[in-house]
Amino acid sequence: MNLHIESIGSGPDIVLLHGWAMHSGMWRDVSDHLAQHFRLHLVDLPGHGFSRNSSPAHAPGSQSATLEGMAEMLADVLPASFIVCGWSLGGQVAIELALREPLRVRKLALISTTPCFVRHSDWQWGMEAATLQLFTENLKRDYSVTMKRFLTLQISGGGSGTASALVQLRKSLFERSKPDDAALEAGLQILLSSDLRGKIRNIRQPVLLFQGENDVITHPDAARWMNQQLKNSELIMLPGCGHAPFLSYPDRFVTAMLRLAHPLTYGH
């Protein structure tokens, strides 16, 4: 499969991974600023955005239907050394990539990420599986309406910048074709089944955790839990912020990425 990757800017290599049902255009409002300092690689994950028509194979059992498979695909086409930044589901892909390529992935930024999206008896900071299933059924029935509701949910809990963040999300999302149905279904199965809690402590690289304290999709306490598990991590918890903190606080996000890449220059 040929993944669509747009590379812009110059400097240390940073790979940006979007969330489920999205595409790399969602980063546009911060990518121009980041590209002044970094060489950015904006990836459309399999079946999403401009990677939508790269291959018909997104069925269960295909390489792109698992976190491990997506990490393997990315490893084949990414630079020799890079920082990886993943949002939501993209954060889980970033974790897998860091575990698979510990010498190539220098550092991680996990944006609104959780090791486990679904609630379990020993994990209270997840969503009910039935909620995810219902969402996917609605997505198949009416993609546009359901995604507009999903975007509204993503900025739920935000402060004064909520309205502008929602406008940005909607504008960016519908600039590209909707993900193919098989990719959406494969993504749902990843959301339902992925559980990285047992792997997370094996990450040795420095990690930035960037989280909205009012996120209703990935619980803030999941980020706090990861912060405890990851010995070399920094948690930035943003007040009055939902699931898209890099849009609600773009300047803080860019500053945090600069500090992650250049701690001696941009440190506290």
Nearest to 1 by CA among 67, 41, 48, 42: 48
First to last CA, the chain: 42
From the candidates 31, 62, 88, 194, which is the catalytic residue? 88
Nearest to 187 by CA among 120, 116, 104, 89: 89
CA distances from 174 to 43, 145, 171, 220 (A): 17, 12, 6, 28
Which pLDDT score, from 0 to 100, does residue 155 have? 73
Give yes or no: 7 in active site: no
From the candidates 13, 29, 180, 215, which is the catalytic residue? 215
Give yes or no: 243 in active site: yes
The C-alpha atoms of residue 44 and residue 76 are separated, in whole angstroms, by 15
Which pLDDT score, from 0 to 100, does residue 134 have? 86
Beta strands in the chain (DSSP E): 4-9, 13-17, 39-44, 82-87, 105-111, 207-212, 233-238
pLDDT means per 10 residues, the chain with 268 residues, are: 90 95 90 96 92 54 78 94 97 97 97 96 93 83 84 71 74 80 86 94 97 93 98 94 89 96 79
pLDDT in tens, 247-268: 889 999 999 999 999 987 877 5
Which pLDDT score, from 0 to 100, does residue 58 have? 44
pLDDT in tens, 125-151: 999 888 888 887 888 888 888 888 888
Pick the CATH number of 4-266 from 3.40.50.10860, 3.90.70.10, 3.40.50.1820, 3.40.50.300: 3.40.50.1820
| 3-state DSSP assignment of residue 121 | coil
Query: Within 13 A of 11's CA, how many CA atoms are on the CB side?
Result: 16
CB within 8 A of 244, min separation 6: which ones? 87, 112, 154, 155, 165, 169, 212
Residue 82 sits at φ, ψ, to 5 deg, of -160, 165
Residues 209, 235 contacting (CB under 8 angstroms): yes
Which pLDDT score, from 0 to 100, does residue 53 have? 61
Residues 132, 21 contacting (CB under 8 angstroms): no
The C-alpha atoms of residue 131 and residue 1 are separated, in whole angstroms, by 31
The C-alpha atoms of residue 49 and residue 42 are separated, in whole angstroms, by 11
Within 10 Å of residue 76's Cβ, how many Cβ atoms? 8
Which pLDDT score, from 0 to 100, does residue 161 have? 62
